[in-house]
Structure 1
């Protein structure tokens, strides 16, 4: 497990725009250096659909992800991941064996709902 990060102010926390979204499309990304899945996540208006490359192949298959709600940071700058532009960081935590487990609301929430 990682050590705790240094303390930050609530204002610093508010700078991270973390929202709920629904995966509307998922495809394998075999060209990625590490196994990954390309995701298209609908964060509702005014954010819309954003793309993400996620290293989540240990527990997830593309066909099982469509319709699933996830949490993502929507205000990071886009990042080039191979030939794919990742526009949002979908959030997860490591399992006991170090593989990513997606974070998601435990009840359905509106797309675009902001975490606070």
Structure 2
């Protein structure tokens, strides 16, 4: 990967939010879950879809804090408009594991 400057990194707005609602997304091309994430009073609730069905069930995600890029433009995914990109890492099997803080922080807190 090419090196970037700090100015480029600072353009990416990564924040923490709490999953308030999660539903299966059966009409997606690849198995996915629809998420509604609360990013606090400044940003409010944003929605997204994530291909995380191998490791997570919708009911297991409620109340979980996740990290997301909040300043990408909205993206249409089938019949659903995704407003943020939740972040994750691939495990040994290639399944996505969500990124989040290991202790509770205020929703909307920006990653430094």
Structures share fold, TM-score greater than 0.5: yes
In the TM superposition, what is the alpha-carbon distance from 1:106 to its structure 2 partner? 0.4
- Structure 1 vs Structure 2 CA RMSD: 0.4
String of CA shifts for 1:32-90, please: whole Å, max 9, x gaps.
00000000000002100000010000000000100000000000000000000000000
The alignment of Structure 1 onto Structure 2 pairs a total of residues equal to: 112
Query: Are residue 86 (structure 1) and residue 82 (structure 2) matched?
Result: yes
Where is the helix percentage greater, Structure 1 or Structure 2? 2
CA distance in 1, matches of 2:107, 2:26: 29
Unaligned 5+ residue runs, structure 1?
A: none
TM-score (norm 1): 0.95
CA distance in 1, matches of 2:24, 2:66: 18
Point out 4+ residue stretches in structure 1 off by more than 2 angstroms. Answer: none
TM-score (norm 2): 0.99
Unaligned 5+ residue runs, structure 2?
A: none
